[in-house]
Amino acid sequence: MQETLPLDVIIELTDCTIWQQDHLVLTGVNLSVGKGEFIYLVGKVGSGKSSLIKTLNAQIPLKSGTALVAGYNLAKIKKKEIPYLRRKIGIVFQDFQLLTDRSVNENLEFVLKATGWKNNLEIETRIGEVLDKVGLGRKGYKMPHQLSGGEQQRVVIGRALLNDPDIILADEPTGNLDPETSEGIIRLLTDISKTGRAVVVATHNYTLLKKFSARTLKCEEGKLLQVNEDEEIELI
């Protein structure tokens, strides 16, 4: 059953604990993210960034605290409701996870059909819309291996947008990309947030944080902390 949040808030975590299997990684997590907000999530390897993202996506169950994400209460969510929550969340991975034996269009078509789209004309139209949004309008016929790393990541972002989600969760989206390409990806994600979606980007890239400043939260010593604008961050 969906629950209501304040009008402009799409993620609200209150006193949550975040686990990775049997390992407690974060305690006392409080987080509020508004529609149209772009935030960074930083911290050293193993500090809990990915576990927090997986909790928001209901990949890791919430054991204590209250978490309302896109109208769903993660503490009470039923297994059958999880696919509906995930349609409201677009995920962007570091390692793309594209189907290598299918063209870009076929990759996107696969996701739409898997989430209940049936009308071929509507599918074709939607694929065209998202590829235009990510700057790949003429590349739908190409296979993933024919694209650069940056283009593949743009396909992944397009895939995340297919079902018009309220939230984009990007876990190290520039981890495998060169600096110039990384900047293009962050610009694209920033533009997406301006369309009213909440965008959460977990990153190690300090240069991007400086160049494209936004609210930044840090996982450190089992806590989720707000980072001040003038604070130096250790990400290694």
Q: What are phi and psi of 183, to 5 degrees?
A: -60, -40
Beta bridge partners of 216: 40
pLDDT at 206: 85
The mean pLDDT of the chain is 91
Whether the per-residue pLDDT at 4 is higher than 80: the answer is no
* Antiparallel, parallel or unpaired: β 64-69 and 72-73: antiparallel
| Domain containing residue 173 | 36-58+86-226
Residue 176 lies in a domain: yes
Residue 143 lies in a domain: yes
For residue 80, what pLDDT band results from cuts at 50, 70 and 90? Answer: very high
Residue 210 lies in a domain: yes
Whether the per-residue pLDDT at 6 is higher than 70: the answer is no
Whether the per-residue pLDDT at 50 is higher than 60: the answer is yes
pLDDT at 232: 64
For residue 234, what pLDDT band results from cuts at 50, 70 and 90? Answer: low
pLDDT at 95: 79
Residue 203 lies in a domain: yes
Residue 232 lies in a domain: no
Q: Tokens for 83?
A: 């696919």
pLDDT at 29: 96
Whether the per-residue pLDDT at 230 is higher than 90: the answer is no
Residue 186 lies in a domain: yes
Give mean pLDDT, residues 158-170.
94
User: Nearest CA to 86 among 8, 203, 166, 9?
Assistant: 166
Residue 74 lies in a domain: no
pTM: 0.90
Number of domains the chain is built from: 1
pLDDT at 94: 77
For residue 89, what pLDDT band results from cuts at 50, 70 and 90? Answer: very high
Give mean pLDDT, residues 150-170.
94
For residue 228, what pLDDT band results from cuts at 50, 70 and 90? Answer: confident
Residue 150, domain CATH: 3.40.50.300
Residue 30 lies in a domain: no
For residue 93, what pLDDT band results from cuts at 50, 70 and 90? Answer: confident
Mind listing the pLDDT tens digit for each residue in 198-216?
999 999 888 899 899 999 9
Mind listing the pLDDT tens digit for each residue in 98-145?
999 999 999 999 999 998 899 999 999 999 999 999 999 999 999 999
